[in-house]
Amino acid sequence: MDTIRTQFATELKAVQTVKDVEALKVRYLGKKGLVAEQMKRLKDVSDEERPQYGKKVNDLRLEIEGALEKKLHSLESDELAKRLEAEHIDITLPGRSRFVGAAHPVTHGMEEMLKIFSDLGFSIQVGPEVDTDYYNFEVLNFPPDHPARDMQDTFYIEPGMLLRTHTSTIQARFLEQSVPPVRIVCPGRCFRNETISSRSHVFFHQIEGLCVDVGISMQDLVWTLTEFVQRLFGRDVSVRFRPSYFPFVEPGLELDISCFLCSGKGCALCKKTGWLEILGAGMIHPQVLKNVGIDPEKYTGFAWGMGIERSVMLRSGMKDIRELSENDMRFLKQFRTC
């Protein structure tokens, strides 16, 4: 055991790394190590010498364990000091800038519109982006051979399944499961197979809504939409309604506001007309109410829909709708105060 002690001391001095300490621990204190071999000899020692011999072996084990632990702590401290020196941080260097994030302009525009309608008593409903031909067209008074289907170039996934072309699908689904009075707005992403240009894209965001109850009239529609656009664009804007056609409303109309850039005098933004087209609307077609199980003799309602990107472009003076989907941080940072 004295020989083992001397040999261990010599080898411990040569240790340079934590890995060397682990190897030395296995060599001396492992199950087949030198100290374990001494313990195995205990059975060959006489009964009188066995207690003293066992004590010496145990003392040797404790001595080696203590020396290894001390050496390990010393090496770990040295390695930590070297690593800290290598990872030295110059606290005089300027810190890294952290940019304050903001909602995407389309998201911000949608939230602003939803807040207005929420204040007017409308609830928010959402639905699937992949829907059936029935909910996207047929229930909304678009028969299979109806020419109005040509107004919307559709992405078909398979026969009878498509990417919705408007969020009116949400309205139809909700009306089937509801009993009037109903007041909802339906925001979401829509898809149309159009040529991508500065004014159109294959996907865009819409917010549509409807109100169904006893005695709903065109007067309710005019007041609701006038209040909405004046809260959104400012009380100074003038509003006008023009006759238009949509298969799911009768009569149909479009809403324009006076150009806020030229105050209605005529400019490039409004194409010299003094007016900006904002949304389409109308009284819900009686056939649509029948299709969703609502008696058109008892209930009437109005509906509308508008593109969120168009509103954002008008308010910001943006020229190209593609800028809203290209994720160019140089462009989006302009809206960080929104």
Convert the pLDDT of each residue in 109-136 to its tens digit: 999 999 999 999 999 999 999 999 999 9
For residue 209, which amino acid is it?
G
What average pLDDT does this structure show over 254-263?
85
- For residues 193 and 250, membership in a common domain is answered with yes
Query: Rounded distance, CA 102 to CA 226, Å?
Result: 29
What average pLDDT does this structure show over 222-227?
96
- For residues 127 and 239, membership in a common domain is answered with yes
For the entire predicted model, the pTM comes to: 0.67
The answer to whether residue 337 scores a pLDDT higher than 60 is no
Sign of CA dihedral 120, 124, 129, 134: negative
What average pLDDT does this structure show over 154-171?
91
Q: β-strand 182-191 against 161-163: which pairing, if any?
A: unpaired
Confidence of residue 1 (pLDDT cuts 50, 70, 90): confident
- For residues 194 and 251, membership in a common domain is answered with yes
Residue 100: inside a domain, yes or no? no
Q: Give the range of the structural domain holding residue 176, as residue numbers without chain letter.
A: 105-335
Q: How many residues does the chain have?
A: 338
Phi and psi at residue 153, to the nearest 5°: -80, 120
The answer to whether residue 151 scores a pLDDT higher than 80 is no
- For residues 70 and 131, membership in a common domain is answered with no
Q: Which of 41, 56, 86 is the last residue of a domain?
A: 86
Q: Which of 56, 86, 116 is the last residue of a domain?
A: 86
Q: How many domains does the chain have?
A: 2
Residue 245: inside a domain, yes or no? yes
Residue 92: inside a domain, yes or no? no
The answer to whether residue 338 scores a pLDDT higher than 60 is no
Lowest-confidence pick of 142-151, 154-163, 196-205: 142-151
pLDDT digits (tens, 9 = 90+) for 271-283: 888 898 899 999 9
**Token pair for residue 68?**
């290894």
- For residues 56 and 123, membership in a common domain is answered with no
Sheet containing 156-158: order of strands: 130-132, 161-163, 156-158
Residue 54: inside a domain, yes or no? yes
pLDDT digits (tens, 9 = 90+) for 47-61: 777 788 788 888 888
- For residues 81 and 110, membership in a common domain is answered with no
What average pLDDT does this structure show over 91-109?
82
- For residues 151 and 80, membership in a common domain is answered with no
Question: Tell me, what's the pLDDT at 56?
Answer: 82
- For residues 219 and 120, membership in a common domain is answered with yes
What average pLDDT does this structure show over 93-112?
84
- For residues 318 and 208, membership in a common domain is answered with yes
The answer to whether residue 263 scores a pLDDT higher than 50 is yes
Residue 37: inside a domain, yes or no? yes
Question: Tell me, what's the pLDDT at 3?
Answer: 85
Question: Tell me, what's the pLDDT at 148?
Answer: 62
The answer to whether residue 336 scores a pLDDT higher than 70 is no
- For residues 248 and 311, membership in a common domain is answered with yes
Higher-pLDDT residue of 91 and 116 is 116
pLDDT digits (tens, 9 = 90+) for 231-253: 998 888 899 999 999 889 999 99
Question: Tell me, what's the pLDDT at 100?
Answer: 72
Q: Which of 52, 86, 120 is the last residue of a domain?
A: 86
- For residues 53 and 114, membership in a common domain is answered with no
Residue 240: inside a domain, yes or no? yes
CATH code: domain of residue 189: 3.30.930.10
- For residues 159 and 281, membership in a common domain is answered with yes
Residue 96: inside a domain, yes or no? no
Indicate the average pLDDT of the chain: 87
